[in-house]
Amino acid sequence: MSKNVAEQLVEMLVEVGVKRVYAVTGDSLNYFNDAVKRNGKIKWIHVRNEEAGAFAAAAEAELDGIACCAGSCGPGHVHLINGLYDAHRSHVPVIAIASTIPTSEFGMDFFQETNTIKLFDDCSYYNQVATTAAQAPRMFQTAVQHAIHKKGVAVFGLPGDVAQMDAVESITAMQLFNNKPVIRPSDMELNTLAELLNSEKKIMLYCGIGAAEAHDEVVALAAKLKAPVGFSFRGKMSIQYDNPYEVGMTGLLGQPSGYHAMHEADVVLLLGTDFPYVNFMPEKNKVVQIDEKPERLGRRAKLTMGLCGNISDSVSALLPLVEEKKDESFLKAQLEFYQKVIERQQVYVKDRGEENKIQPEFVAETLNRLAAQDAIFTVDTGMCCVWGARFIDGTGERKMLGSFNHGSMANAMPMAIGAALAHPEKQVIALCGDGGLSMLLGDLATIKQYNLPIKLIVFNNRALGMVKLEMEVDGLPDNETDMINPDFALVAQAMGFKGITVSKPEEVETAISHALIEDGPVLLNIMTNPNALAMPPKIEWAQVKGMTESMAKLMLGGKMSEVLDTIKSNYKHLGEVL
């Protein structure tokens, strides 16, 4: 019996290493679903919302290099978009199957019709619809090549009637060409860079996710240059461990030490980072950027040099050209300052908080101590990113996943689904905000359905914490950022797995310890301090002024108790922190 197009595509997915399809099935997707079932080498994961499926696929792709999600025509496509935006902006290869209405109904305003080309244009590198059986394998192979080599999303439109057609053998290549070329600057460019680094006294290295596979080369370069090493959030897990030169992060989530080293250096060497915040970049010193994508060069800072290259290849070629520096004074000063910053960060950890106002820093630090050396963490956008960035340490084996470029809410729990399915042998821990978890709450049922041993740590501050802070530093009294939450522990229990509410600081360590050794999923609903502030590495006068104005407006509005709570929670330690 001849195979149909859907079966042909499933065979191609198997060949490129796809293990799962995250989807909600529907009429136009049913033949593809059936082909997955009969093939037996790919597992169909029934999520409750296609957005969760796209987030799960993004997590699996970041960990393992390729993943697949699918959505049926109309609403299924629309639900995919947010998760696909996240995958695309994070530069992870995801194949999205967008099944569509029958080809005979195209352009007729048919039930659930969407224009997939327009819909997915801004969140994909490849985005086409096959309308014949002969097109399908050729287009699909091209889609996979785009996803892998451009590092992003490829959308393959599959009309329901095309999925049923008899497969046609492709007249072109069907395999994946998974090339790994050597990419580095020219000899002339490397010599010019080496001359610059050799001539200046104070060098700082700042690394992003593009340097993830260059840990040893970065440390070797730092040793020669006596250079402190900072990193972006996405670069942290790969660069921080076994690195005696690290001085932390800069940016909104970072520490003063990373910001200080970057601004005190004569030369800042940006390695594989497209750090987005221009206002944290130095303006008076020399900045050199090396990136595999030359279109990114110079869009965050004025550059002395902009070079195209893979970081491992480039630094390996640069190392023999660099002279070892003797003066360690700049490096020692930055490391001493970083140590003071780390000590100051412990202020709120030691404080621990009080009943129903547990300090989130204490929760994150406890989690860091108790979690496995090779744990996979996922973090919701917002305050959970702050606590993850500052208190979860890299070990060389840990991974941390989040919506770091797209900045979506609700990503931590579905990303944990993808991570747990891809790596059942590892501890998977999701740091969830109450706002984020609420947004895709239904996919707790997916966790139960596949009995995934995910540990959901809910930082329940009863507010959209980061948004509240943003309003206050702009001088605005927060409005409608409060959340009336369900009892998340009871919700987890209703879904069929263990849920526990933690309201006292002395309960935190025991609750986390027990959760981590539990065989199945656990949700810890931790009642954190709603007034905990994330102090940025550089405090602008405008932010102080804005916070003062915000507090004044709240007092005039009759919310004196709220102002006093904020002051009590944060400013009793302000002198120690600063």
CATH value at residue 532: 3.40.50.970
Among the three residues 164, 195, 215, which one is the final residue of a domain in this structure?
164
Whether residue 361 is found in the same domain as residue 328: no
Whether residue 512 is found in the same domain as residue 368: yes
Whether residue 382 is found in the same domain as residue 482: yes
Two structure tokens written together for 476: 């605005």
| Sheet arrangement for strand 43-46 | 43-46, 20-24, 67-71, 94-100, 153-159, 126-129
Domain range holding 99? 5-164
Whether residue 328 is found in the same domain as residue 369: no
- Non-local (6+) Cβ contacts of 55 within 8 A are 83, 86, 410, 411, 414, 415, 417, 418
Whether residue 553 is found in the same domain as residue 408: yes
At residue 60, the pLDDT reads: 98
Whether residue 100 is found in the same domain as residue 125: yes
Among the three residues 336, 367, 402, which one is the final residue of a domain in this structure?
336
Return the CA Rg of the chain: 25
Tokens 């821990």 correspond to 429
**Is there a domain that residue 182 lies in?**
no
Helix (H, G, I), strand (E, B) or coil at 96: strand
At residue 561, the pLDDT reads: 53
Domain count, the chain: 3
Whether residue 398 is found in the same domain as residue 546: yes
| CA pair distance 271, 289, nearest whole angstrom | 6
Whether residue 300 is found in the same domain as residue 373: no
Count of residues in the chain: 578
| CA pair distance 318, 309, nearest whole angstrom | 11
Tally of CA atoms within 13 A in the half-sphere of 140 that contains its CB? 34
At residue 357, the pLDDT reads: 96
Contact 440, 50 (CB under 8 A): no
**Is there a domain that residue 195 lies in?**
yes
The burial of 324, by beta-carbon neighbours within 10 Å (0-12 exposed, 13-18 middle, 19 or more buried), is given as exposed
Contact 468, 481 (CB under 8 A): yes
**Is there a domain that residue 177 lies in?**
no
Whether residue 330 is found in the same domain as residue 434: no
**Is there a domain that residue 509 lies in?**
yes
At residue 558, the pLDDT reads: 54
Contact 529, 461 (CB under 8 A): yes
510, containing H or E segment: helix 508-517
* Torsion (CA) 475, 539, 270, 245 in degrees, nearest 10: -150
Helix (H, G, I), strand (E, B) or coil at 432: strand
At residue 250, the pLDDT reads: 86
**Is there a domain that residue 175 lies in?**
no
Q: Which residues of the chain have pLDDT under 50?
A: 1, 539-547, 549-551, 553-555, 563-564, 567, 574-578
CATH of the domain at 237: 3.40.50.1220
Nearest of 146, 189, 397, 196 to residue 313 by alpha carbon: 189
Two structure tokens written together for 477: 């009294």
**Is there a domain that residue 510 lies in?**
yes
Whether residue 327 is found in the same domain as residue 357: no
pTM higher than 0.85 for the full model? yes
**Is there a domain that residue 24 lies in?**
yes
Among the three residues 149, 164, 179, which one is the final residue of a domain in this structure?
164
Contact 268, 274 (CB under 8 A): no
Nearest of 463, 459, 465 to residue 433 by alpha carbon: 459
Helix (H, G, I), strand (E, B) or coil at 285: coil
At residue 563, the pLDDT reads: 45
- Non-local (6+) Cβ contacts of 385 within 8 A are 233, 253, 379, 402, 404
Whether residue 268 is found in the same domain as residue 371: no
Distances (CA, A) of 94 to 57, 64, 155, 534: 7, 11, 8, 33
Whether residue 421 is found in the same domain as residue 326: no
Two structure tokens written together for 390: 């500052």
**Is there a domain that residue 169 lies in?**
no
At residue 531, the pLDDT reads: 87
